[in-house]
Structure 1
Amino acid sequence: MEIDQLNYKCTPQENWQGRTDGIDFTQQRWHQRIQCIDLQQNEIPSVASGAIAFALIGFSSDEGVRRNGGRTGAVNGPAAFRKASANLPVHFNEQTAIYDLGDICCTDGNLEKAQHELAKLVTSALHKGLTPLLIGGGHEIAYGHYCGINDAINPEKSIGIINFDAHFDLREKGSAGFSSGTGFLQIANDCMQSGKTFNYLPVGIQKNGNTQALFLTAEKLGVAHIPAALFASKGQEEVLAKIKVFIDSVDHVYLTICMDVFSAAFSPGVSAPAFTGIYPDHFFFSCLELIMTSGKLISMDIAELNPVYDEADRTAKLTAAIAFQLLSAN
């Protein structure tokens, strides 16, 4: 694929370093398995039918967060993720491949260009048979990511977006332009223009983090959200049931996780911390398992990792733990 050199940064293989317990597969850690691909020099590897391979892609941007009035710093999220996940033990199949395709970067504040380049890379990775895992960066990652998925699939197939997030991100375009808070309204508008159904399930919504206008926008768009309050023990069966019904209603699932969905005690390093967010406990990972084992998950991202505010690297380590779960399900 052609990639704009101004928006691309490869990951040097030496950036993946960590503890080495041995070279036997059962002793290995992620840094021993991940293969870095410089897209300025090499093509994305093709994956044989039936093989499992992941494309790790960073989105080095917090321009959308800046435009949205949030705390900047997530531009360095991909680097913090790589450092936090390098020592993860390998628990995926020995034939599973993980390719680090580098970062798409937002330069000169041109978010729209960066999102376009991200979409192209996602489309190319999917066409090669890889499952993308994107790491942000602000939640402006979602619009570019979705566009890439949409360009890659059969137009007759539907995409269902499951967004673990404290916020709807259904804001109107502001004076500063599109932002980290507008992505899903942009997708809704694109769906309307193309005659597609907007399939969107926000999970973990906080009433104290969204205006009445955003709730009304969600209602107008036919968006049925799952509030964070349902994650208490009495609502957990309802949460799983709602997620399952949503998955059953679509052909493909795009999973996006904003790290501000979690309580700030577990995830302080985000642009907009949620002090009453959900817990990254057994039940949350049960929700992930339901999505991962559905057979419909086509692509995924984790957004809003902001190392500037990440006390004791708690958010980076939680992001790594979520990625571990996503990639070890096979």
Structure 2
Amino acid sequence: MEINRLNYKCTAQENWQGRTDGIDFSQQRWHQRIRCIDLQQEEIPISSSGETAFALIGFSSDEGVRRNGGRPGAVNGPAAFRKACANLPVHFNEETNVYDLGDIYCADGDLEKAQQELAKLVTSALQSGLIPLLIGGGHEIAYGHYCGINAAVNSKKSIGIINFDAHFDLREKGSTGFSSGTGFLQIANDCLQSGKTFNYLPVGIQRNGNTRALFLTAEKLGVAHIPAALFAAKSQDEVLEKIKAFIDSVDHVYLTICMDVFSAAFAPGVSAPAFTGIHPDHFFFSCLDFLIKSNKIISMDVAELNPVYDEADRTAKLTAAIAFQLLSAN
């Protein structure tokens, strides 16, 4: 694929460094299995039918966060993610391939161009048979990511978005332009223009993090949500029933996780910390497992990892644990 040099940087293989316990597959860690691809020199590898291959893609941007009045720093989220993941033990199948396709950058504050380049890369990865896992960067990653999925999917197939997030991100475009808070309204408007149904389920919504106007916007768009107050083990059956009903209503699921969905005690390194967010406990990871086993996830991202504010790398390590869960099911 053609890629804009201003918006792309490959990952050097030496960026994946870690402990080595041996070369036998049972002893290996992620840094020994991940292959970096320079898209200015190589084509995206093709995954044959029946094989499992993942594409790690960084989105080095916090321009949308800046426009939205949040704390900058998520631009370095992909680098912090790689560092946190390097020593993870390999628990995916030996036949599973994991490619690091590098980072898309937001150059000169041109967020829209960066999102377009991200969309192109996502489309190419999907068309090559890879399962994308994107790492942000601000939650402006969502609009570019969705556009890439939409371009790759048969127009007759429906795409459902499950967003673990403290916020709806259904804001109107402001004076500074589109931002990390407008992505899902942009998607809703695109769906309206193309005659598609807007299938969106936010999970972990906080009342103290969203204006009444945003709740009204969600209602107007027909968006049901699972509030943070409900997302607990005691309500497990009700939560899983709502998620299952949503999954059953769509052909593909785009899973996006904004790290500010979690309590700041567990994820301090985010652009907009939530003191009363959900806990990354057994119930949360069982929900992830439930989603994976549906076999409907077409692409995934984790957004707003902000290493500037990440005490003891807690947020980066949590992001790595989420990635481990997503990849180790295969």
TM-score, normalised via structure 2 length: 1.00
SS at match of 1:231: coil
Q: Structure 2 CA distance, aligned partners of 1:129 and 1:236?
A: 34
Which whole-Å CA distance do the structure 1 matches of 2:288 and 2:233 have between them? Answer: 17
SS in 2 for 1:326: helix
Question: Per-residue CA shift, 1:199-247, capped at 9, x if unaligned?
Answer: 0000000000000000000000000000001123332211111000000
Aligned twin of 1:91:
91
Q: Establish whether residue 246 from structure 1 lines up as the match of residue 246 from structure 2.
A: yes
Q: 1:149-164, aligned counterparts within 5 Å? A: 149-164=149-164
State which drifts further: 103-112 or 227-236: 227-236
2:60–2:78 contact (8 Å) kept in structure 1: yes
Q: Any idea what SS the aligned residue of 2:32 has?
A: helix
What residue number does 2:59 align with? 59
Structure 2: unaligned runs, 5 residues or longer: none
Q: Summarize the alignment of residues 92-111 of structure 1 with structure 2, pairs less than 5 Å apart.
A: 92-111=92-111
Map of 2:26 onto structure 1: 26
TM-score (norm 1): 1.00
Matched AA of 2:21: D
Q: Which residues in structure 2 correspond to 1:10-25 (within 5 Å)?
A: 10-25=10-25
CA distance in 1, matches of 2:303, 2:66: 15
Letter of the 2:83 partner, please give it.
Answer: K
Equivalent residues in 2 for 1:1-330, closer than 5 Å: 1-330=1-330
Secondary structure in 2 matching 1:288 = helix
State the secondary structure of the residue aligned to 1:229. Answer: coil
| CA–CA separation in structure 1 for the residues paired with 2:287 and 2:129 | 25
Letter in 1 for 2:177: G
Per-residue CA distance 1:63-100 (angstroms, 9 max, x = gap): 00000000000000000000000000000000000000
2:239 partner amino acid: V
Distance in structure 1 (CA, Å) of the matches to 2:256 and 2:232? 22
In 1, the alpha carbon distance for the partners of 2:242 and 2:14 equals 43
Give CA deviations for 1:120-147 in whole Å, capped at 9, x if unaligned: 0000000000000000000000000000
Q: Which runs of 5+ in 1 are unaligned?
A: none
Residue 230 of structure 2: SS of its match in structure 1? helix
Instruction: Tell me the SS of whatever aligns to 1:166.
Output: coil
Displacement after TM superposition at 1:248 (Å) = 0.2
* AA matched with 1:257: I
Percent identity between the aligned chains?
86
Alignment RMSD (CA, Å)? 0.4
Aligned residue pairs: how many? Answer: 330
2:22 partner SS:
coil
Structure 2: distance between partners of 1:165 and 1:295: 22
